[in-house]
Amino acid sequence: QRVMDCGDAGHILVSKHVAEDFEHYARWRPYLHELGECEVKHGARISLVNLYGDSIGNADVPGKIRQAKREQARASRDGRKRILVATSIMAAAVLG
């Protein structure tokens, strides 16, 4: 249930663990597309794989995953900005 809560309409999501079982069968490999991690109940994180093909599933990245990636990118940019500002202040103090 927690896996499917990360998806939108038409998604067939499976955990990375389940996808690894499917990977043993050549016919399933083309349908497995790794998405990354999703936060579920109580802050737990699970690795997800989207199962889709021409006539099954939904190829779009689920909204919850897309939002998490945006937030992660924003946090990374903010961290780099803080480092740059701190480095500039230290350089100004040393060169002062």
| Domain coordinates in residue numbering, the chain | 4-95
Q: Are 38 and 15 in contact (CB under 8 A)?
A: no
State how far Cα 26 lies from the chain centre: 25
Predicted structure pTM score: 0.69
What's residue 75's pLDDT?
A: 65
**Does residue 67 have a pLDDT over 80?**
yes
Least confident of 8-17, 24-33, 72-81: 72-81
Question: What's the token pair of residue 50?
Answer: 């989207």
pLDDT of residue 80: 74
Give the three-state DSSP class for 52: coil
Asked if pLDDT for residue 87 goes beyond 70, the answer is yes
C-alpha pair distances (Å), 63 with each of 9, 34, 55, 82, 96 = 10, 15, 21, 29, 49
Question: pLDDT at residue 79 above 90?
Answer: no
User: What are residue 47's DSSP bridge partners?
Assistant: 37
Q: Where are the beta strands (DSSP E) in the chain?
A: 13-15, 32-39, 45-51
Could you give phi then psi for residue 88, rounded to 5 degrees? Answer: -65, -40
